[in-house]
Amino acid sequence: MDSIAYEPQIGGFGALIKGVDLAQPLDQQAINEIKTIFATYHVLIFRGQQLTPDQQIGFGKQFGPLVKHPYIKGLDDCPEIMVVEKKETDKHNFAGAWHTDTSYQEIPALASMLYAREIPPSNLGNTLFCNLVAAYEALSKPLQEFLIKLKAVHSFTGRSMAGREQDLGYGQLAKNRTDQNKVLQPVIRRHPESFKLSLYVNPMFTEYIEGLNPDESDLILDYLFQHCIKSEFVFRLCWTPDTLIVWDNLTTMHNPINDYDGYRRLMHRVVVAGSEKSGVSLYEAV
């Protein structure tokens, strides 16, 4: 097979993969090349894919074992697929704020794959991604050295959820999870496969930094949240019909924009499991 063709997006964050039909089995060489591109660009875009749920699952498994959402039931015949839907009458979309998928789990997901089955008209319902590797690298050396020793508490309800359950599209689901366990995650993470360093905090699920008083923690987290979403770190994904996106949950945050009231948006998501080693902080690993 010829080498995989791809086109880096503006700023070198995200890559459009060309000439690949995900409905067909891919050989190991193609998978390895796609993974190499993924490690460099963090977000992969596959346009014009005609995928059944089984085919989406099949492609996802070539990245690793899939995991079901801990609280949301998947499709009856394909439980690995979580339906992400905003109906014409809904006012709020699902998880409509900056976040990283499943950082509230002890072993967070490695990657997410979202497939557009029905989307609003052009230029509506886009998704923003930010590059947490670039955001880390842009920090001063003293701040990197300070953050590298810290861990933060993450939970499903986070600090930004209180009173905003409906705004974030969680509704009763979030209210029922106020007793959900809290987990510690490194503030600076080394990727288990690419070995790149990145920030690993997000405003939806990160509550506070362990060992700091509340004012100190809030000050640092607020700064990091705003730093991560500076324009130079952000890529805007414009959805087209039958697009599949793969993003690295350990090196990115994302934010689905809720600007399409009156239109239906239907997506299918699968999630690739993380590994034990991805939960080790850089400070502990050296």
How many Å from the N-terminal Cα to the C-terminal Cα in the chain?
40
Least confident segment among 12-26, 149-163, 264-278 = 149-163
Closest alpha carbon to 240 in 125, 84, 159, 151: 125
Predicted pLDDT of residue 168 = 53
Domains held by the chain: number: 1
Q: How many CB atoms lie within 10 A of CB 241?
A: 11
Over residues 105-118, mean pLDDT: 96
| 3-class secondary-structure state, position 143 | helix
Question: Quick one: tokens of 235?
Answer: 């890529």
**β-sheet bridge partners, residue 153:** 184, 208
Output phi, psi for 174, to 5 deg.
-65, -40
Confidence band, pLDDT 50/70/90 cuts, at residue 277: low
- pLDDT tens, position by position, 137-195: 999 999 999 999 999 999 987 775 554 444 455 554 555 555 567 999 999 999 999 99
**Calpha distance 88→244 (Å, rounded):** 22
Whose structure tokens read 């590298």?
148
The percent of residues above 70 in pLDDT, for the chain, comes to: 88
DSSP string, 225-258: HHHHTSGGGEEEE---TT-EEEEETTTEEEEE--
- pLDDT tens, position by position, 211-241: 999 999 999 999 999 999 999 999 999 999 9
Write out the H or E segment, with its range, that includes residue 129. Answer: strand 127-131
Predicted pLDDT of residue 164 = 47
| Domain span including residue 200 | 5-285
Please list, residue by residue across 117-147, b when 16 or more beta carbons sit within 10 angstroms of its beta carbon and e when fewer do.
Answer: bebbeeebbbbebbbbbbbbeebeeeebeeb
- Residue of higher predicted confidence among 148 and 71: 148
Predicted pLDDT of residue 148 = 97
Confidence band, pLDDT 50/70/90 cuts, at residue 44: very high
**Calpha distance 17→181 (Å, rounded):** 38
In this structure, what DSSP letter does residue 99 have?
Answer: B
**Calpha distance 34→15 (Å, rounded):** 10
CATH of the domain at 48: 3.60.130.10
